[in-house]
Every structure is written in structure tokens, then in C-alpha cells.
Amino acid sequence: MKSLEEITKIIEAEIEQLDWSMPPQGLYEPIKYMLSNGGKRIRPMSVLMGCEMFSGNVKDAIPAALAIEVFHNFTLLHDDLMDRAEMRRGKPAVHIKWNDNTAILSGDVMQIKAYELLAKTPEKYLKQTLDLFSTMACEICEGQQYDIDFEKRQDVTAEEYLDMIRLKTSVLLGNALKTGAIIGGASNEDADLLYNVGINIGLAFQLKDDLLDVYGNSQTFGKKIGGDILCNKKTYMLITALEKAEGNTKNELLKWINASDFNPEEKIKAVTNIYDLLGIKEICEAKMDEFYEISLENLKKVNLNLENKENIFKLADSLMKREV
Amino acid sequence: MKSLEEITKIIEAEIEQLDWSMPPQGLYEPIKYMLSNGGKRIRPMSVLMGCEMFSGNVKDAIPAALAIEVFHNFTLLHDDLMDRAEMRRGKPAVHIKWNDNTAILSGDVMQIKAYELLAKTPEKYLKQTLDLFSTMACEICEGQQYDIDFEKRQDVTAEEYLDMIRLKTSVLLGNALKTGAIIGGASNEDADLLYNVGINIGLAFQLKDDLLDVYGNSQTFGKKIGGDILCNKKTYMLITALEKAEGNTKNELLKWINASDFNPEEKIKAVTNIYDLLGIKEICEAKMDEFYEISLENLKKVNLNLENKENIFKLADSLMKREV
């Protein structure tokens, strides 16, 4: 088995080799910019690891791994445009560095390029991986739509929120592992178990993100602490707090949510205090641990020796221990 | 062989049967709106006709036909957004009826749905049709990029313009006929001939469009005559006029192009007069006829009886005779 570092190197080398030098550069240069902009490459790595654990090699899964990474970056590009987010991984978003139309059109062509890469999957597995990919891709758009819809709603439940993040973020990781497994020749049962591994790590990962945004170490987290609180982002923590809070605490929380004129530091401190009072951190951690446990249980059930699963255990562990 | 009317009916019935009723409706309703908004269905019809002429049946080509129609409508949706066009086929464009983000996201999911439909093509032909589709889809985005780039340039040549419309519009028709032929079991040689048929009809069709915008009958044309002249759209006619004009005529043409304050009717009349003086109508008609002839020559070379090619001849004829 290759080490996680070796797998990362393979992915980086393959991404580096993708050619975006053709005309018109107004269309293709932003794609090179997006893909060379770093990122943890967790999804393409998951494809290769999902494949290697069954087949012992990763070569056949490389096109699918690249397809998923290109598609993931397409979603970031269009999401940044829709959310009017100005920065991505410390650099200006494509719609800022270029313009809105470039972000639309370069994103569109990235989606096509993702399918073009996927079509290089061995023909034996092509139809199945293609169908799984399209299902996943639609789900991600559905997740983004729910995310937009939820911004206008005041009654989003924790359950609805978790389903939204399952669609918007987790299906990508589930699909990555399952697609790798299929190309590695796994049984349908094992491929489905790996899908569940990915979905549940994905959910745990997102809850970790929500937690770090409030309780992370500002030195290591990268983003500014409290950003979600300032913009009233409907995270699992805020939704749970709104469900749990009563009386004065609820009034205080609603006051901060509806305030249009406030001191940012004061709002972050006040809402964090309410979270502390209601035990929101512990509730969120418990939920996160629950998803993580389900993920590990599914991984344990996969019909392989423990050593073949080691990389996925390591990946899951690193995603949960992260402080950034 | 089915009549053109029968083929239209099959397409309309199949489009009608596509289900867009699933949640979230904020994502899927605009797709239903786009697809039920009419249009001539020339591209999906071409897929079915390309298939039927070789195999005698059209069933296997239906998924590819629908994929091409959904993809075509996706390009219209995103192009309208990028061009800030307010109307499409007499109804408000999606970004007007809903908003920009809806246009982006519903367009994105249409692209995925196009691939999802295409994946239902018989597995024997899947890889080939998939690769052709992705190549075409990238080319269409490249054409749109060139179209955007050309707006900022004053030195676009007729050759560059024709290559841009080949990418932006003709490859779709070429791909439709070729994909149909492949699924109908045509030889590679015949499939390539049909590709050329489509490319050249497509080019002739676009030149006809440019012509009608200036010399069409305002009663039957649907759009307002002279729209291209008013916005200085770099059509084949304007580019050729700029190439041909000299002395006072060139100064007069440039004056109208650079005028910021003018009477619309006066500008249309003046530029049309310059076109008349330079014989632009005849030059454009000759170029259009040239493409049309190449198209027919390619069709004649296809290794089939004349009666099997009759529908394509009829389609080409109807596209050239149209006044709308």
C-alpha cells in the first residue's frame, strides 16, 4: 500500500500534467488558476485509496480522481460567484480576479472537462461510474439550492440542515470512495459500505468546520474566528441553539441575530456565551462523534484485511484531528 | 421513413415526459420553463434522423437526442445571463423571471442532466458518443468566449467570425447528425460526412440569420429588423462591409458605428444603404450558398440510397427557405 504522502504526490503530479494552455486563454486560464490554488486534494485521494484497497493499484482510477477534483473546483468557482465570496484559499476568487461572465463560462467548461476525464475510466466500469457521478453532481446542485433557500427561512430544522450538508458536501466524498472501490473491482456491498464511510466522514467534517469557526484557535484556523456568527450563518450550532434556547436566552440570541448595528467582537462574544450556556459545543461534538463512529463501523464491515483499510482509517483520523 | 412531422412529435412527446417535479423546485422549475418554451427542436430531430437513415429505427437515439436538446437549452440559459438578454422566444429569460443565481445553478444542473440522459445510450456506442459530446460542449464554450472577446476587438476578420460561429453554433448540429449516425450503426466515414453536413448547414443557417436581421420581412421575422445594426453586432455582414468600404463610405460607416447619440431608424437606414452600395447582401448570400452547397455535396457522398437521405435534404431545404 502506498502512503498518504505518496498518493498525494501522484494526484499533484497528475493535476500538474493537465493541459490548459490551449486557446482561448480567457476561457482556460481561470481553470489552471483554480486547480493550482492548493486545497487538500482529499476527494481525488479518496478515489485512489478506494481503488487501491481492493485492486492493489491506482492507475485505472486516476481519470475518475481527476474528474472529481475538477468537478469539486467547478462547484467552488460557481458557489463563490453565487455567494459573492471574494477570496478562495487566500487568493481572489475567479469572479473577482476576472469577472462574473468568466466565472460562469470557465465553470461551465470545467464541468465538461470533468466528464471528459471521467470518460477515460476503463469501459467495463464506465456506465456505472458515470451514472453515480451524475447522481452526485445533481445532489450537489440540490444542496446548494437548499443552502440558498434556507437563507430566507427562519424555521430550518437541524435535520434539514444535516440533509443539506449531506447533499452539498458529503456525497462528493462518498462518491469518491465508492467510485474508487468500483474501479478497484469491489463488490456492490463493499462499494456501498465505502459510500457510507464517505458520507459520514463528510458530515462529521462539516460539523468540525462549524465548531472550528467558533471554538478554533485563531492562530492555526486560517479564517477569522466567529465569521459564521457575524453573518448569522445557519450552522448546526446556531440552529440547535435556536431550538434549545428559551426565555431571556432566546430573546438575547434573537436580538443579536436581528441586530443591524453592532460591534463585531461583542456579537461574537455574546453568541459564544449563549452557546456555552446551552452546551452547544458538546451537542455538536457528540453529533460529530456519532457520524464519525458510523463511518468507522461501515469501514470495519468492508470485506478486506485491516491493513488494506489502514489508509482510510488514517484519512478519517486526520480529518477529525485537524485544527484547520 | 418517418415524416419530419412524425419525428417532431416523437421529440415533443419525449421532452414532455421528462420529469422536473422533484424538489427543490427552485432548482428544477426553470428547466421545465426553458424546455417548454418552444424552439424548433432542429438538433434533437437531427439526431433521430441521422440514426433512422442508417438503422431504420430511432429508439436507441432518443436519449442522445434529449441530451443535445437539454444541453442546447442550457447554453441559451447561460448565454442570456452573460449577454444580459431579457427575452427568449417571447418570454422573460430565466435570470429575469427568477434571478442570476437561479440562472447559474439551474443551468449547471441542466448540463449534468444532459450527460445523465446521454449515458442511457446503448453501451456499445456510449464511449464514442460521450467523447464526441464533450468535445462539442467544450467547443461551444470556446465559441462563446471568442464571441465575448470579439466584442472588445475592432480587427476581427471574416475568417475569425466564421470560425467563431462554427464553434458557437454549428458543431451542435454537426454533432447531432453524427451522433445519430453512430447510434444507427453508420461507418466512421459516413458519420464524418454527416458531421460536415451539419457544420455547413449550421454556418449557412447563421449567415441566413444575419441576413434576415437586415433584409428580412418585419411581418414574418419575429424580431425587430435592424437589431444587429443598432448594437454594432459584428456579423459577417458588418465585418465584410468594414473590409470592403473605402474613403467616404468607410468614414460614414465608422461614424455610425461610433455614434453614441442617434435616431435608430436613421442608423438602420444609413447602414443598410452602405451595405447595398457595397453589395454586402450578395456577398453574404454567395457565402451562404457556398456552405449550403458543401453541405449537400457531403450528404450526396453518404453511402445510402437517396430515399434514406430525403429527410435531411428536406430539413436543410427548410432551414434555407425560412423567413423567420
What is B264-278 written as a DSSP string? HHHHHHHHHHHHHHH
Q: How far apart are CA B73 and CA B42, in angstroms?
A: 12
Say what the pTM is.
0.96
* Among A82, A107, A134, beta carbon nearest to B112: A134
**Dihedrals phi, psi of B211, to nearest 5 degrees:** -60, -50
Q: Is the pLDDT of residue A218 over 80?
A: no
Per the prediction, chain A carries an average pLDDT of 95
Within 8 A by CB and 6+ apart from B111, the residues are: A108, A111, A112, B71, B74, B137
CA distance A174 to chain B (A): 18
What is the interface pTM, i.e. ipTM, of the complex? 0.95
| Mean predicted confidence (pLDDT) in B301-320 | 94
Summarize pLDDT for A3-15 with one digit per residue, the tens: 999 999 999 999 9
**B313 and B299 Cβ atoms separated by less than 8 Å:** yes
- Comparing CB atoms, the residue among A113, A134, A149 nearest residue B116 is A134
Assess B232–A contact: CB distance below 8 Å, yes or no: no
Q: Is B143 on the interface with A (CB under 8 A)?
A: no
CB contact under 8 A, B148 and A112: no
A298, A196 Cβ separation under 8 angstroms: yes
Contact status of A141 with chain B (Cβ, < 8 Å): yes
B197 in Cβ contact with B295 (< 8 Å): yes
Averaged pLDDT, A236-259: 96
Residues of A in contact with B109 (CB under 8 A): 137-138, 141-142
- Does A33 have pLDDT greater than 80? yes
Rounded CA gap, B318 and B154, in Å? 35
- Cα-Cα-Cα-Cα dihedral sign, residues A215, A216, A218, A222: negative
* Rounded percentage of chain B residues whose pLDDT exceeds 90: 90
Rounded distance, CA A125 to CA B121, Å? 15
Q: Nearest CA to CA, how far is A91 from chain B (Å)? A: 23
- Cβ contact A26–B138 (<8 Å): no
Q: Which three cell numbers stand for residue A235?
A: 450552522
- The alpha carbon of residue A216 is apart from the nearest alpha carbon of chain B, in Å, by 32
| Ramachandran class of B18: left when φ > 0, alpha when ψ lies in -120 to 50, beta otherwise | beta
> What average pLDDT score do residues B140-149 get?
97
pLDDT(A259) > 70: yes
How would residue A42 be classed by pLDDT, with cut points 50, 70 and 90? Answer: very high
Residue A94 confidence (pLDDT): 98
pLDDT of residue B221: 64
Q: Which residue has the higher pLDDT, A272 or A222?
A: A272
3-class DSSP assignment, residue B185: coil
- Give the contacts of A293 (CB within 8 A, at least 6 positions apart): none
Distance to chain A for B94, nearest Cα, Å: 15
